[in-house]
């Protein structure tokens, strides 16, 4: 039988579209976050935490990985009685939504039975959250009647979309102080979706919108006095990790802080512009705006910095690595021996560094193991190392 062949690539595939991707500039995945607690798969409370509800935090187990799944998601319990749903974590959009039976016009196959709303859960068009939602989407919001429901349509850069109605329902959430809260939160009941293949089972039931708009779940937690308006996560190299709302788990040591800047692209979180370095040397491209978007599977560069990085990579590689073709990755290198993990070739590559203009000595180092991945193809016998 043919032996599987592994190849390693950075999280940057130009064939994959990012949610709410900007037309140019650098899109930096939150997977590269520098706020690292003791372990990526286990949250640790900081010394200042207390039991005041405002100071508490909500912690969620993260599932998924960059490759091959291409997304991270959480399980949330919604409704009464509460039922589990998988939500794609997306800091690049505001609205949380589930595929639902309202009835459904176009829905993909999902891991759980479709959410079923009731009329008493509908959010009216005149509600402030409906106004906020439309302000972040189209700037065009008109209500013909006070009893009119709040309809919406969200579109993503990967050509996906969700058409639905805004509803209110309870979310069962266990906090870091061991208490359980059940706030009634607004989210989308999507009954007409364009989300890829309709024959394959989707990995999630919907999207968890964590943007900076008022309609985002993070903002609603703040409005209910449950947590502070802070979101963070830590990802394990083995896949998974944890996501948290609130400031109890923020690591105040071994962290670099950069003020957030207002992004030119919707409600993105942006630490501002950054200069690009490779192996301690500037790549000679002008500073780029960086936005953080966990709904994007990969890190994206515009053409000029991408080409500058590729040129630097190729010019610095050891002669023990041979460039070869790969069916899904734009760059690939083969070694003399099979690679079992990216750590096998860590010494062959240099770190990529983002130098943020907003922070004092705010350098974000991206080591080789954070921009290289192992892929598998058949039937070639050797393992490949790809970018």
Q: In angstroms, rounded to a whole number, what is the distance separating the alpha carbons of residues 202 and 114? A: 12
Task: Note if 50 is an active site residue.
Answer: no
Strand pairing category for 269-278 and 352-356 = antiparallel
Task: Note if 90 is an active site residue.
Answer: yes
Residue of 90, 94, 127, 158 marked catalytic: 90
Residue 379: phi and psi, rounded to 5, are -115, 10
User: Exposed, middle or buried by CB within 10 Å (0-12, 13-18, 19+), for 341?
Assistant: middle
User: If you search the block for the tokens 């690292």, which residue do you land on?
Assistant: 36
User: What are 302's two structure tokens?
Assistant: 């515009």
Residue of 169, 205, 293, 326 marked catalytic: 293
Q: Among 374, 356, 357, which residue's Cα sits nearest to residue 365?
A: 356
Q: Among 334, 318, 343, which residue's Cα sits nearest to residue 380?
A: 334
Q: In angstroms, rounded to a whole number, what is the distance separating the alpha carbons of residues 139 and 158? A: 22
Residues designated catalytic = 90, 293
């Amino acid at each position: 039988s043919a032996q599987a062949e592994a190849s390693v690539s950075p999280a940057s595939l130009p064939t994959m579209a990012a949610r709410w991707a900007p037309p140019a500039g650098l899109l930096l995945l939150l997977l590269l976050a520098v706020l690292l607690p003791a372990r990526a798969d286990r949250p640790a409370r900081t010394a200042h935490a207390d039991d005041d509800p405002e100071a508490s935090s909500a912690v969620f187990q993260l599932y998924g990985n960059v490759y091959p799944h291409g997304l991270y998601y959480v399980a949330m319990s919604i409704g009464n009685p509460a039922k589990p749903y998988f939500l794609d974590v997306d800091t690049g959009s505001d609205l949380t939504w589930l595929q639902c039976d309202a009835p459904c016009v176009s829905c993909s196959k999902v891991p759980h039975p479709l959410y079923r709303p009731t009329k008493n859960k509908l959010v009216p068009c005149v509600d402030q959250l409906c106004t906020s939602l439309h302000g972040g989407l189209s700037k065009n919001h008109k209500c013909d009647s006070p009893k009119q429901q709040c309809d919406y349509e969200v579109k993503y850069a990967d050509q996906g979309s969700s058409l639905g109605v805004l509803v209110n329902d309870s979310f069962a959430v266990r906090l870091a102080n061991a208490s359980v809260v059940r706030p009634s939160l607004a989210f989308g009941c999507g009954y007409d979706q364009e989300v890829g293949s309709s024959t394959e089972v989707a990995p999630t039931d919907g999207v968890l919108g964590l943007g900076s708009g008022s309609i985002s779940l993070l903002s609603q937690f703040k409005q209910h006095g449950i947590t502070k308006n802070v979101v963070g996560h830590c990802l394990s190299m083995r896949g998974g990790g944890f996501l948290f709302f609130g400031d109890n788990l923020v690591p105040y040591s071994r962290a670099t802080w950069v003020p957030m800047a207002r992004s030119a692209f919707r409600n993105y979180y942006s630490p501002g512009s950054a200069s690009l370095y490779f192996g301690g040397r500037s790549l000679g491209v002008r500073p780029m705006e960086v936005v953080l978007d966990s709904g994007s599977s990969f890190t994206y560069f515009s053409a000029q910095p991408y080409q500058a990085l590729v040129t630097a990579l190729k010019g610095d590689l050891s002669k023990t690595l041979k460039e070869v073709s790969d069916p899904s990755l734009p760059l690939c290198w083969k070694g003399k021996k099979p690679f079992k993990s990216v750590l096998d070739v860590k010494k062959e590559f240099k770190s990529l560094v983002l130098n943020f203009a907003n922070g004092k000595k705010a350098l974000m180092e991206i080591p080789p193991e954070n921009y290289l991945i192992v892929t598998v193809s058949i039937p070639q016998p050797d393992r490949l190392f790809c970018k």
